Structures are given as structure tokens and as C-alpha cells.
Amino acid sequence: MKILGEKWASLVLREITFGALRFDEIAHNTGAARNILADRLKSLEAAGVVNKVQYECSPPRFG
């Protein structure tokens, strides 16, 4: 609950639920600074709430 209760984490989860899967799309829709968004996504991934999936090989891109 500590991770999910953070303001930006709940906004990120809302965007993912509504279908925004790209970093830039989530950043635009939430208004979160890129460094804060990256930190929240890393903490959500570490907690097993979201999964990082590679969708392009060259250059490697994740969604």
C-alpha cells in the first residue's frame, strides 16, 4: 500500500489501465516530471505491480 498510495503511482496506474503504455504518453497525460515518472515506474516494477516489456530491438524500447 505504501507504493500504491503515492500520488504519481496511482496516476500512472490509472493511465496504464486506460491503455497508455508508452513513457511519453503517460508523462503527457499525468503531467509528471520525467525523473519522477521513471522512479515511480521502477518502484512499481520492483513491487511486481507492472511489467516492463521490450517491443523493439534496435534500439531497445520498452512499454
Contact 15, 30 (CB under 8 A): yes
pLDDT given at position 62: 78
Q: Cell for 59?
A: 534500439
How far is residue 28 from each of residues 2, 21, 44, 46, 48, measured CA to CA in Å? Answer: 25, 12, 19, 23, 24
pLDDT bucket at 55, cuts 50 / 70 / 90: confident
Delineate the domains of the chain, giving CATH numbers in brackets.
7-62 (1.10.10)
Decide which of 4 and 15 is more confident. 15
pLDDT tens-digit series, residues 15-45 = 999 999 889 999 999 999 999 999 999 999 9
pLDDT given at position 1: 59
